[in-house]
Each structure stands twice: as C-alpha cells, then as structure tokens.
C-alpha cells in the first residue's frame, strides 16, 4: 500500500503529507501493546491497536484497498463521472469508506442494519454518507441473504451509473489489505516471534489475510477466530453460522474457533479500560476473552490480538449491557 | 431448488394452468416479463428493498400497510384488498407472480392471502429477490410500473385454507390428554394421534418452540405465554430453503417433513408461527411442493394461542 514516496511521510518525525500517508503498513505499523490484566503467567498477549488508524478502526485498511482497487480498475474516477459507492456496513467500513471516498470526490451511500449504534450512524452522516437503515433482525433466517447486503446490491444493480458496490464481503482487496499490511506489520513487530493471532470474524477479511501472510512465514502460527455466541449483539461481528454472507471466509485458514458468551464482550471492554487504560470496544473485549480462554488451555508464547476499534462510539451499547453504568445522571 | 427450464419441476403436484406449477423459475419469468396476462408483485420483509430496485414491471406491495387489516390483526377486508389490487392494475384473471426478500418469506404470505381470496392463478418465483439480484445479467430497475387500473372481482374467503382457534384448540386439548395418559401409563404408546389425525406444524425458531423466548427480539405483536401448542411438530420455516433462498428439492422436503418429522402426507395439516407469515411459507411447501391435499394456515398463530386463558401449552 505504498501511496507516496518516502519523502512525503517523515516517519521519524511523524509528519505526513496527507492522511493517506498515515495509513499503516510495515514501515508505519499500528502499535502493539502488552496486556497484563488477567493473563496467566507463561502467556504473553499483545493488543494491536487498530483504532490508531487515521479514521479510528481496522476498516481503514480494507476501505482504502477497495477504493484503490476500484480506481485502478476504472470503476471509479474520471472515466465514471458522478459515480459513487454503496456499501452494506456495520459502521466502521462505512465510516472509513465515506471519509476516504468523500476525500476523493465520490458520493457514498451506506446501508446499515438497525442494530448498529446511533453514534456510528451519526458518524456516517458526518462523514458525508447518505444512509439506509434496514431492519435485519425481524426474524433471522439461517443462511439467507443479509438485508443490508441485498439492499446495497439493489442500489448498485438498479443504478449502475450512480453506484458501484465495493462489497467487503466479496472483494479480494479486503483480504489483500491484511495480507499486504497487517500481516507484515505483525511479523516485523514481533521479530517473527508471533505464535498466535486472535481475530474476530465480520467479513473474515482480517483473519483470512493474516492467515495467508503469516502461515507463509511460519506454518506453525495459529490463527484463532473468536466469535460471539449465537443471537449476539456485538456490532460488526458474526458467528460462523452467519458467515454465509462472506465469500472470503475459508475455514481451512483458521486453526480454532473460540466461542464466547457475547455479554462478556462488554464486561471485558469495560475492564480493559479500567485496568489497562485501553479504550477497547466490545469486539476487542470479545477477542481478549477468546485469547484468555485459549491461554487457560495452553501457554501462549506471543499472541497478537486485533483490537478493531475503540469504545468511544459504543457508549449506548455499553450502557445497555452494563447496568452498573446506570443512567449517568440522565439526559443532559 | 433450481428449477428446470420451464419451471415444471412441480408439474403434476398441482397443475394450475399452462403446464407450469405454482413455483416458477427465473427463466419462466423472464419469458413472461412483457406478458399482459401476467402481473409481477414484490412483497418484502423490508419494503425499502423494492424502492431500491426491482424486477422491471414489478408492482410493490407493503405487507404491513397493504396486506393486513389496519386495526383488527386480521387479513384485509375483501373490498379494501380488491380496491388496492385493482388500482395497481391487477384483476382476478391475471397470473400473479410473487417474489420477495428473505427467501420469499412475505411473498409466500401474499400467495396465501391471494389464494385465501380465491385468486385462480398465483405463482411464486423460486429464489425470490436475492437469486434475481445475484445474476448481473438479469434486468433490475427503480422505475415504477404504471398499469391502467382494473376492476378486481374478489372471492369470498376460502375457509379450507385458514385454520381458526376453534379448530386448533380441540387438537391441542386432545394432544395434551394423550400426553397425560402416556405419563400415567408410563409407556410411549399413544404418543401420536391416530391415523388421519391433523398434523400441527410449528414453524417458529427452536427457542420460540421450547418457550425460551416468546417472540424474536424487538417485535410488538406478542403473546403473554411462551411454549407451543401440544402435539405440534417443530420444523422452522427456513428448513425448507437452501442458503441461496431457493426451495429444497421435493425429495429433500419429503424426507424432512414427512419421513423425519412425521407430518402425515395423507392427513390434514395446519401450520402456525407467531402471526401467520412464516407459516404461510410452510403452508406453501406442504400444499404445493409436497402436494398435501388439506393444508391450512393458522394465522392467529402464537400471538393468539399464547394469550388464551386456560389453553394447554407445552414447553421444551
């Protein structure tokens, strides 16, 4: 993902010519920080702080890779005047896409399931996206289309002059982004010592890309997917039973799937903030729970956990799951 | 199922007209998109889907606004439905082809509703909206159709397609009594009703059937009690479809419903769910894909039954 020559991103002084130059890669990785709270002795767990991406989540990587791919294929840009993007998104991809596409001059329409927190929906609007909110949860049908995906696809099919759908659920650049950036970063940051990687599944792009790159370096590295229990309420994540929507998911690239009762995503995220000053969002809480579950079975030599985004846009969800937060004094 | 060229996979089960059965293929439909005797109607769980794009010529109906009584938790009154269909350019002689999102869930409800009011020729597009969307070569548009208004002559409700609580409750009481007798006898003899007895099929999710939850989260119409009607067989409606939204093959359906779950092929059947929509889908499967002769949709369903004082209820 080299977008600019070295002289335009002074990594020593952290001076960048553009936000695009801040996007992470092996020379400019997102930080790894050790987490100690609740980790048994004999295991080392590092959190990869993806909220340090310029737009605040791991999705910057896929969003930019997909946009660049569309530009390079001539699907967006001067040859397609007026054309923008439409994407089904739980929020983060939409936010990254909206900001990056707007920056490039493309209109954005985001199709968002109703269960996505209000904060995230407002952020999409702030970033300039037009919003469609779908009600997917009316009665989940195992294996069938996701309403948001169907609706986004409908816009792209019915109005191809106005919209192209990057489609994070099928776009190989989603996986490649992690094969080209996140994977090499982890390999380099750990000096090749990484033994386990913990990631959640949404589109499965992160886990697939990491697995492809890291197992090519060392086939013994274990790629562990952490999933919320069925019927979960963790935005952005999927239980494997819901992964039919992703064309990227290849179970052969995952060594183990750990299922965690989804409520613990919230309790753990709160504890990470209080004990480690890590502003981890619920999906990061879930991933940490998964790593702890594995650490209870076997020592983790050097585990890396992908902390997708931070808690700041989940205050309403946190309040719903953590009654002890109370009403914080009621509306201001 | 992926239906062959003319959509005749169901031929011989119920032959309504023209050689094709009530379940039609994409190809069958594409050959008839401009056929003036055909009206294509989309009914979605989420009406935004239709607005975002649809098959050219498709009329969009909103299940909540158009296909329900506004206040009585009932099907629309005949005059109201006839007026709506006529205004949209549909008469009772049209071949109405239905399709929708979520594996034709609410399209199947519309199918049942039209048959309830004795519309002669109703079809369901296999795979529904998602299968059509998946093929980039098939046309798709936001353009709204403009058909000249028609006069729709609506029939009287066909009670042979609709079960009421008056019919369901005695079945439940009898099943409950059989279960009680079995407990006292300490044997499993008498576990099932005798030959010719009606099969009750509960198509809700396993958690609704077991009584763990009363309704899927976030829904308004609900019951006060949880569980299922005694004697009911649990077969979630989605078991009838493949991940791509098409129906499973007749052989697969026969194995699931009749051989594995024990729905009687030679006896009446009643499907129910929470408010009668999911059960319409299973009603379609039992009536048209498996060819059972006497199948009713109990559209009062759990929201009615689960509020009856003193009604027997089973859990787990």
Does position A56 have pLDDT exceeding 90, yes or no? Answer: yes
Residue of A329 and A66 predicted with greater confidence: A66
Instruction: Examine residue A169 and state whether it is found in any structural domain, yes or no.
Output: no
pLDDT value of residue B215:
87
Q: Are B93 and B85 in contact (CB under 8 A)?
A: no
Tell me which of B315 and A142 has the higher pLDDT. B315
Residue A236 pLDDT level (bands cut at 50, 70, 90):
confident
Start-to-end Cα distance in chain A: 44
Average pLDDT over residues B233-260: 94
In a domain, A143, yes or no: yes
Q: Do A154 and A194 belong to one domain?
A: no
**CA B118 – CA A200 distance, rounded (Å):** 51
Nearest to B212 by CA among A267, A135, A322, A231: A231
Is the pLDDT confidence value at B10 over 50?
no
How high is the pLDDT of residue B27?
A: 94
| A157 part of a folded domain | yes
Residue bearing the bigger pLDDT, A312 or A240: A312
Other Cβ atoms closer than 10 A to A240: 17
Size of interface A-B (CB pairs under 8 A): 77
pLDDT at A313 over 80: yes
The class of domain B160-305 in CATH terms is alpha beta
Tokens at residue A42, please? 């004999």
> What is the distance between the alpha carbons of residues B99 and B108, in angstroms, rounded to a whole number?
8
Note whether A223 and A250 are same-domain residues: yes
Write the ipTM.
0.78
Instruction: State how far the Cα of A136 lies from the Cα of B54, in Å rounded to an integer.
Output: 19
- Full domain range(s) for residue A272: 6-53+175-324
Encoding tokens for residue B215?
């309704």
Residue B101: strand, helix, or coil: helix
When mean pLDDT is compared across A24-38, A55-69, A79-93, A164-178, the lowest value belongs to A79-93
Chain B partners of A154 at a C-beta cutoff of 8 Å?
49, 52-53, 133, 140
Percent of chain A surpassing pLDDT 90: 74
The pLDDT assigned to A91 comes to: 80
Are the beta carbons of B7 and B20 closer than 8 angstroms?
yes
**pLDDT beyond 60 at A6:** no
Say whether B101 and A145 touch across the interface (CB within 8 A).
yes
Q: Does residue A138 sit in the same domain as residue A224?
A: no
Least confident of A244-248, B194-198, B227-231: B194-198
pLDDT at B19: 46
Answer whether B102 touches A (CB < 8 Å).
yes
Of the candidates B103, B216, B219, which has its C-beta nearest A144's C-beta? B103
Q: Check if B140 contacts A (Cβ < 8 Å).
A: yes
Residue-level pLDDT at A146: 66
Report the pLDDT averaged over residues B51-57.
96
Residue A120 bears catalytic tag = no
Taking alpha carbons only, the member of B27, B111, B92 closest to residue B286 is B111
Same domain, A46 and A107: no
Better-predicted residue by pLDDT, A78 or B179: A78
Determine the pLDDT at residue A239. Answer: 81
Q: Are A159 and B141 in contact (CB under 8 A)?
A: no
CB atoms near residue A238 (< 10 Å): 23
CA pair distance B283, B14, nearest whole angstrom: 14
d(CA A285, CA A264): 7
| Rounded mean pLDDT, A266-278 | 98
Which residues, numbered 264 to 293 in chain B, qualify as contacts with chain A under a Cβ-Cβ cut-off of 8 Å? 278
**Looking at the domain assignment, is residue A332 inside a domain?**
no
Distance of alpha carbon A162 from alpha carbon A151, whole angstroms:
15
* pLDDT for the residue B194: 58
Token readout for B119 is 């519309």
Q: Say if residue A11 is exposed, middle or buried (CB neighbours under 10 Å; 0-12, 13-18, 19+).
A: exposed
**Cβ atoms of A112 and A90 closer than 8 Å:** yes
For B164-220, how does the pLDDT look when each residue is reduced to its tens digit (9 = 90+)? Answer: 999 999 999 999 998 887 777 654 444 455 556 899 999 999 999 999 999 887 676
Is residue A138 in some structural domain? Answer: yes
pLDDT at residue B56 tops 80 = yes
d(CA B18, CA B146): 26
Angle between helices A263-276 and A282-297 (to 10 degrees): 90
**In angstroms, rounded to a whole number, what is the distance separating the alpha carbons of residues A35 and A15?**
29
Section B275-282 average pLDDT? 94
Q: What pLDDT is attached to residue B192?
A: 55
The residue among A164, A191, A210 that closes a domain is A164
Token reading at B267 = 């006896």
pLDDT above 60 (res B13)? no
- The mean pLDDT of B226-247, rounded to a whole number, is 94
Same domain, A10 and A31: yes
pLDDT more than 90, % of chain B: 78
Same domain, residue pair A155 and A267 = no
- Same structural domain, A192 and A278: yes
Residues B191 and B310: their CA atoms lie apart, in Å, by: 22
Across B107-135, average pLDDT? 96
How many CB atoms are closer than 10 A to CB A92? 31
Mutate to test the interface with B, among A135, A144, A244 (most CBs of B within 10 A): A144
A112 Cβ contact list (under 8 Å, min separation 6): A88, A89, A90, A91, A94, A120, A121, A124, A131, A132, A133, A134, A148
Helix (H, G, I), strand (E, B) or coil at B180: helix
Catalytic residue among A43, A90, A246, A283: A283
* A138 → closest Cβ in B49, B53, B216: B216
CA angle A149, A153, A157 (to 5 degrees): 170
Counting the structural domains of chain A, the total is 2
* CATH code, A194: 3.40.50.1100
Mean pLDDT, rounded, for A82-108: 93
CB contact under 8 A, B102 and A147: yes
Q: At residue A297, does pLDDT exceed 70?
A: yes
Which is more confident, B271 or A12? B271
Please tell me the predicted confidence (pLDDT) of residue B17: 40
Q: Mean pLDDT for chain B?
A: 89
Which of B52, B218, B238 faces A137 most closely, judged by CB atoms?
B218
**pLDDT (mean) for A76-80:** 96
Q: How far apart are CA B66 and CA B257, in angstroms?
A: 32
A44/A155 same-domain check: no
Residue A282 has pLDDT above 90, yes or no: yes
Residue B53: its chain A contacts at CB < 8 A? Answer: 154-155, 157-159
Domain boundaries, chain B: 23-157, 160-305
Band (pLDDT 50/70/90 cuts) for residue B249 is very high
Tens-place pLDDT, residues B124-155 = 999 999 999 989 999 999 999 999 999 999 99
Q: Do A83 and A33 fall into the same domain?
A: no
The answer to whether residues B265 and B258 touch, using CB atoms and an 8 Å cutoff, is yes
Average pLDDT (A24-29) is 97
In this model, does residue A54 exceed pLDDT 60?
A: yes
- Is the domain of A151 the same as that of A197? no
3-class SS letters over chain A: CCCCCHHHEECCCCEECCHHHHCCCCCCCCCEEEECCCCCCCCCEEEEEHHHCCCCECHHHHHHHHHHHHHHCCCCCCCCCCCEEEEECCCHHHHHHHHHHHHHCCCEEEEEECCCCHHHHHHHHHCCCEEEEECHHHCCCCCCCCHHHHHHHHHHHHCCCCEECCCCCCCHHHHHHHHHHHHHHHHHHCCCCCCEEEEECCCCHHHHHHHHHHHHHCCCCEEEEEEECCCCCCCCCCCHHHHHHCCCCCHHHCCEEEEECCHHHHHHHHHHHHHHCCCECHHHHHHHHHHHHHHHHCCCCCEEEEECEEHHHHHHHHHHHCHHHCCCCCCC
A220 and A318 assigned to the same domain: yes
Band of residue B1 on the pLDDT scale cut at 50, 70, 90: very low
Q: Exposed, middle or buried by CB within 10 Å (0-12, 13-18, 19+), for A144? A: buried
Superfamily in which the B23-157 domain is placed by CATH: Rhodanese-like domain (3.40.250.10)
**pLDDT in the model for residue A242:** 74
Q: Which of A43, A48, A57, A59 is catalytic?
A: A59
Count other C-beta atoms under 10 Å from residue A252's C-beta. 6
From B55, B98, B122, B273, active-site residue: B273
- Residues A25, A70, single domain; the answer is no
Q: Nearest Cβ partner of A134 from B46, B103, B242?
A: B46
User: Who has greater pLDDT, B216 or A221?
Assistant: A221
- The predicted pLDDT at position A148 comes to 84
* Mean pLDDT across B64-68: 94
Question: Which pLDDT does position B100 carry in this prediction?
Answer: 95
Residues of chain B positioned with their CB less than 8 A from the CB of A135: 45-46
């Amino acid at each position: 993902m080299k977008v600019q020559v070295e002289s335009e991103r002074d990594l020593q002084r952290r001076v960048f010519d553009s936000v695009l130059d801040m996007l992470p890669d092996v020379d400019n990785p997102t930080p790894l920080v050790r987490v100690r709270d609740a980790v048994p002795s004999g295991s080392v767990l590092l959190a990869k702080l993806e909220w340090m991406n310029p737009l605040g989540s791991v999705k910057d990587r896929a969003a930019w890779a997909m946009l660049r791919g569309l530009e390079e294929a001539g699907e967006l840009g001067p040859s397609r005047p007026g054309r923008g993007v439409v994407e089904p998104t739980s929020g983060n991809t939409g936010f990254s896409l909206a900001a990056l596409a707007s920056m490039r001059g493309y209109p954005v329409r985001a199709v968002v399931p109703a269960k996505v927190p209000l904060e995230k929906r407002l952020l999409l609007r702030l970033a300039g996206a037009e919003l469609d909110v779908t009600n997917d949860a009316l009665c989940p049908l195992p294996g069938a289309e996701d309403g948001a995906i169907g609706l986004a696809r409908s816009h792209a099919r019915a109005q191809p002059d106005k919209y192209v759908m990057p489609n994070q659920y099928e776009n190989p650049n989603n996986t490649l982004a992690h094969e080209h950036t996140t994977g090499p970063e982890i390999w380099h940051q750990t000096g090749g010592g990484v033994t386990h990687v913990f990631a959640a599944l949404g589109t499965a792009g992160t886990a697939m890309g990491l697995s492809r790159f890291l197992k090519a370096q060392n086939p013994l590295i274990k790629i562990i997917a952490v999933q919320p229990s069925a019927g979960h309420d963790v935005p952005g994540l999927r239980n494997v039973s819901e992964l039919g929507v992703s064309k990227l998911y290849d179970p052969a690239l995952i060594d183990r799937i750990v299922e965690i009762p989804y409520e613990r995503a919230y309790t753990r995220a709160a504890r990470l903030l209080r004990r480690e000053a890590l502003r981890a969002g619920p999906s990061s809480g879930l991933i940490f729970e998964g790593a702890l579950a594995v650490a209870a079975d076997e020592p983790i030599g050097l585990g890396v956990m992908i902390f997708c985004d931070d808690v700041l846009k989940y205050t309403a969800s946190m309040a719903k799951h953590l009654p002890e937060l109370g009403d914080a004094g009621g509306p201001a | 199922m992926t239906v062959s060229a003319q959509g005749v996979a169901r031929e011989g089960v119920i032959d309504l007209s023209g050689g094709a059965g009530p379940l039609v293929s994409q190809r069958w439909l594409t050959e008839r998109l401009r056929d003036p005797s055909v009206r294509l109607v989309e009914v979605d769980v989420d009406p935004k889907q239709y607005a975002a794009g649809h098959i050219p010529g498709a009329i969009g109906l909103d299940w909540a606004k158009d296909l329900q009584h506004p206040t009585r938790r009932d099907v629309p009154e005949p005059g109201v439905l006839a007026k709506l269909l006529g205004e949209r350019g549909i008469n009772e002689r049209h071949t109405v082809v239905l399709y929708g999102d979520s594996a034709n869930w609410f399209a199947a409800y519309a199918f049942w509703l039209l048959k309830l009011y004795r519309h002669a020729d109703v079809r369901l597009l296999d795979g529904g909206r998602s299968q059509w969307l998946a093929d980039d070569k098939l046309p798709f548009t936001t353009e709204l159709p403009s058909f000249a208004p028609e006069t729709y002559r609506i029939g009287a409700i066909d009670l042979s397609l609709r079960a009421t609580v008056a019919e369901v409750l005695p079945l439940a009481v009898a099943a409950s009594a059989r279960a009680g007798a079995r407990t006292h006898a300490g044997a499993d003899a008498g576990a099932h009703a005798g030959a010719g007895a009606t099969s009750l099929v509960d198509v809700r999710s396993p958690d609704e059937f077991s009584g763990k939850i009363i309704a899927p989260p976030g829904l308004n119409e609900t019951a006060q009690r949880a569980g299922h009607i005694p004697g009911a067989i649990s077969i979630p409606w989605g078991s009838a479809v493949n991940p791509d939204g098409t129906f499973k093959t007749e052989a697969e359906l026969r194995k699931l419903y009749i051989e594995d779950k024990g729905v009687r092929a030679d006896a009446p059947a009643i499907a129910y769910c929470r408010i009668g929509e999911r059960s319409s889908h299973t009603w379609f499967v039992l009536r048209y894909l498996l060819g059972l002769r006497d199948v009713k949709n109990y559209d009062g369903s759990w929201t009615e039954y689960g509020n009856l004082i003193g009604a027997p209820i089973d859990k787990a």
